[in-house]
């Protein structure tokens, strides 16, 4: 309900301001091209890096939250927690590490540039590449973390019921953890083409 109020309020405010500017002869202020030209490439790059590490950590945390609650619940049936029960936790950690690696690689492309040399073709490309590359990696790892978490939660419960199921379920969990690797590869390819800021 609060969301609906917020949505209505922001839409009305935007409409009022937009119509005011339009009727005052300032309608050209709504210029998408000028917005894209004026936003600094550094802003795009840094938002991309933030989305990369942020979404990856959210995915990993979500996975550990799903898995951990199931391990604790399954512990009622099989109180002995062994190393194999905690494999899913390490799987989720890998997802977060992918995000950290990609954020480090992306941020290595950011170097200080004098104010007059920011708006070049190469810098715009680097900014957009890091933005969309970061979003790719972040969302791949977010979904991968959730997938590993749900798999791991099922694995924990199945293992509590029958200890011999462990290896069979592990194979499926490996498949879902590979999904994050796909995002990492594409992020590397997209980021690899971008030159360092101010290099060209």
Partner 1 sequence: MSARRPHGQTYADVAAKPTTNDSDVTPAVPSDVIYKLLGFTAAMAFLPIGMYFLTVKTIFSGNATYSGITAAITANVVLFAYIYVAWKEDQGDREEAENSKSKKAQ
Query: In angstroms, rounded to a whole number, what is the distance separating the alpha carbons of residues 155 and 85?
Result: 8
Least separation, in Å, of the C-beta of 109 and partner 1? Answer: 7
**Region near partner 1 per CB under 8 A, out of 24-32, 49-57, 115-123, 184-192:** 184-192
- Report the site for partner 1 in 94-123 (rule: CB under 8 A): 94, 97-98, 100-102, 104-105, 108-109
167 binds partner 1 (CB under 8 A): yes
DSSP state of 84: G
What number of residues does the chain have?
200
The residue (of 61 and 188) whose beta carbon lies closer to partner 1 is 188
137 binds partner 1 (CB under 8 A): no
Query: In angstroms, rounded to a whole number, what is the distance separating the alpha carbons of residues 65 and 53?
Result: 18
Residue count, binding to partner 1 (CB under 8 A): 32
- Cα–Cα distances (Å) from 136 to 1, 108, 113, 132, in that order, read 32, 18, 26, 6
Angle at the Cα of 189 from the Cα atoms of 188 and 193, rounded to 5 degrees: 110
172 binds partner 1 (CB under 8 A): no
- What is the three-state SS of 168-187? HHHHHHHHHHHHHHHHHHHH
The number of beta carbons lying within 10 Å of the beta carbon of residue 104 is 12
**Region near partner 1 per CB under 8 A, out of 30-38, 92-100, 125-133, 145-153:** 92-100
The residue (of 75 and 198) whose beta carbon lies closer to partner 1 is 75
**Region near partner 1 per CB under 8 A, out of 2-10, 41-49, 119-127, 165-173:** 165-173
């Amino acid at each position: 309900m609060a969301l609906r109020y917020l949505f209505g309020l922001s839409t009305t405010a935007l409409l009022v301001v937009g119509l005011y500017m339009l009727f005052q002869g300032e309608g050209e202020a709504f210029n998408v091209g000028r917005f894209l030209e004026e936003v600094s490439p550094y802003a795009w790059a840094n938002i991309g890096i933030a989305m990369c590490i942020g979404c990856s950590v959210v995915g990993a945390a979500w996975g550990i939250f799903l898995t951990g609650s199931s391990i604790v619940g399954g512990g009622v049936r099989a109180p002995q927690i062994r190393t194999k029960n905690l494999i899913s936790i390490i799987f989720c950690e890998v997802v977060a590490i992918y995000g950290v690696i990609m954020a480090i690689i992306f941020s290595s492309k950011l170097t200080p540039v004098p104010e007059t040399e920011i708006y070049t073709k190469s810098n715009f490309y680097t900014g957009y590449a890091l933005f969309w590359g970061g979003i790719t990696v972040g969302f791949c790892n977010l979904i991968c973390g959730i997938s590993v978490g749900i798999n791991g939660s099922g694995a924990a419960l199945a293992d509590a019921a029958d200890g011999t199921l462990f290896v069979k379920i592990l194979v499926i969990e490996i498949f879902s953890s590979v999904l994050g690797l796909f995002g990492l590869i594409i992020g590397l390819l997209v980021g690899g083409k971008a030159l360092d800021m101010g290099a060209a």
